[in-house]
Amino acid sequence: MRIRRLGWIPVLAALSFSTATAAACKLLETPPIPVTLQGLRPTIVARINGVKARFIVDTGAFYSLLSPAAAAEYKLPLRNTVPDDSVWGLANGGQGDSSELSVQGFGGGEAAVQVATVKAFTYLGVPLRNIPFEVGGNDLGGGIVGLLGDNLLHIADTEYDFRDGMMRLVRPVHCGEQPLIFWAKKGQPVAVVALRFFTAENPHIIGHGSVNGHRIRILFDTGSPRSYLSLAAARRAGITPHSPGVVLAGKAWGIAGYGAVRTWIAPIADLTIGTEKIEHTHLLIADFGESDLSVRQGRTDMVLGEDFFLSHHIFVSYGQRKLYFTYSGGPVFDLGLPSSDWRHPRAAAKARPPASAKAGAGAARASVTGSAAVAPGNAAELTGRGLAYAAQHEFRHALADLGRACRLEPKNAKCLYRLGKAYWQDKQPAEALRDFSAAIRLQPNDLEAHLARAELQVARKHWPNPAAKAAAFTEVKADLDTVKRLTPPESDVRLTLSGLYGDIGHYTAAIGQIRLWRHYHDHDIEMGAARGELGLAWNNLCWRRATQDRDLGGALRDCDRALRYEPKAAAALDSTGLVNLRLGRLDGAIEDYDAALRHNAHMPTSLYGRGLAELQKGEKARGQADLAAARKLDAGIAKRFARMGLAP
């Protein structure tokens, strides 16, 4: 098969694809759209009323969304209804008068939303008029203002090559059912997934696969940084939290992040995605409960997130209802595991393609040869590749590319900030601090660099002497004050600032940041959507005072506030137990730790704290048993308590 690739295609109403006159298969395509990875979040730049705005590319979002802070920053009026003649109104059958709009996120978390209409939204260089966005959910950080969902992404077939820092919209002409694998090199294995039927009401990218031979439904979701298998599907495949090799991985949140879910890392013998087979890998298992990854087409069993997209070159053909992909390299799933813990056998070459694609697949691979890998020649391309390497924890390559990019553009503050982040991830804090400071010298109002420098200094555990720590914390206070001045008042960064002010002992400033955030989120709190986040903020402040053994009366008040918003939060009960332990209220401490462990039996801090209280009461056997159980869960728990001045 011979595929001709043509140039720029406009977008949406302005996207008038030229008509092919010949019968040969042609691909009308946009130029590469630069994609910048922020960790495991693919972002692109658009414009809101002429001002640059960075969005996450989110194939799992039904609608596009703005954070409340972004809507305020761009001065967008909000309403509680959807215009009937908008993309949403038409998709909902003209039911634009709904007064109870909400967005459901990862794990079933739900947040109230309103609607903002952007008069001039520039997407891929094309100005679009009166585009509605949902407004709600959490702030996304990193200068990201929102999500680009299916109402803007599902306008043409899409090529995703995040490892090389780009995506592209494509319209096939006269291609029929011919396999669309134009990027693949000769002989490179290509996998295929048959997708479910797409409609305006059901635009999600959903296919099928299997886990240990058990069939599953898969949602391809660039908005999820990591891939997750639902606990229900894992159980059908014979995997439970108590299976050999399964370890607890903590909790995860999403855009409507008040619905946290428990997660585990589990070994998987055999995972099949379409015609690709991955053996001896590890997956995150998530307990989604009743929500179980619900989308409009019904429940799905697995979400393949950005870690999967980053390790593959993917083409979504909405017309053919197929997803084609090739393995690009690196870990398929980002779990922080060494590369020896996973194996990608490139088994797609041996897998039999679907009958509709089988006849043309061999000819296509024989005649379509991908271009050889070319080293990026400019700073933007080097940065894109460097960020992709960093996202896959390939830091040697990441630092080489980002360092070269910064040498090409020595006055680019953002480049230095990204280089510093890579050094920090690679556990080279001195180099990271150097680059964050260099970025700030170039751009004194760089909020991200100030915040990163403050977090890096606070995270440091060992200091040559108290004077050096005091001097560093004075610099941290200056950074935090700058971020406080630059941050919109309703931003979730306020809660991050609260924690950092607490870390350096400035509790009045910390409380002020929580209260300022609360003032702008009263509606969410009243609906219950933000209660968990507010409870977490007060608990963090309580824990910081307790660990520093300062103002324990204030710590108890903070814990009481946390429990007011989340009465059964194990973390808040654990913090209250530590405060009472500090105060010598041993019976109260044991009671608090008992309550925490009823909600989470695997909290090493609660087991260790209870053990210390029991020993002080003379209950030696019980105390030693609790200490041993805590050390089994966390080998470093004794050292951390000793640094707080608490030891058996």
For the chain, give every domain's residue range.
Answer: 33-166, 184-356, 394-468, 487-648
- Complete DSSP assignment for 39-70: SS-EEEEEEETTEEEEEEE-TT-SS-EE-HHH
pLDDT value of residue 94? 36
> CA 74, CA 51: separation in Å to the nearest integer?
8
pLDDT value of residue 20? 38
CATH number of 487-648: 1.25.40.10
Nearest C-alpha neighbor of 155 from the set 309, 28, 282, 300: 28
Report how far apart, in Å, the C-alpha atoms of 230 and of each of 172, 221, 235, 332 are: 35, 14, 9, 18
Domain 394-468, CATH homologous superfamily name and number: Tetratricopeptide repeat domain (1.25.40.10)
Stretches where the chain sits below pLDDT 50 are: 1, 8-10, 12-13, 15-22, 84-99, 102-109, 255-258, 291-296, 337-374
| Fold agreement (33-166, 184-356) | yes
Q: What token pair was written down for 596?
A: 């925490």
SS3 (DSSP) at 615 = helix
pLDDT value of residue 261? 75
pLDDT value of residue 202? 66
Listed in sequence order, the residues at least 6 apart from 577 whose beta carbon sits closer than 8 Å to its beta carbon are 589, 590, 592, 593, 596, 606, 609, 610, 613
pLDDT value of residue 289? 64
Nearest C-alpha neighbor of 499 from the set 533, 470, 549: 533
- For the domain made up of 184-356, give the CATH fold: Cathepsin D, subunit A; domain 1 (2.40.70)
pLDDT, tens digit (0-9, with 9 covering 90-100), for 440-472:
999 999 999 999 999 999 998 888 899 999 999
Tokens 């291609």 belong to 175
Q: What token pair was written down for 424?
A: 């920090």
> CA 143, CA 120: separation in Å to the nearest integer?
20
Strand partners, 281: 268
pLDDT value of residue 592? 94
- Complete DSSP assignment for 142-189: TTEEEEE-HHHHTTSEEEEEGGGTEEEEEEEES-TT----TTPPTT--
Contact by Cβ (8 Å): 597, 606: yes
Strand partners, 276: 273
CATH number of 33-166: 2.40.70.10
pLDDT value of residue 81? 61
pLDDT value of residue 40? 84
Listed in sequence order, the residues at least 6 apart from 252 whose beta carbon sits closer than 8 Å to its beta carbon are 106, 107, 226, 228, 260, 261, 263, 284, 286
CA angle 455, 560, 518 (to 5 degrees): 60
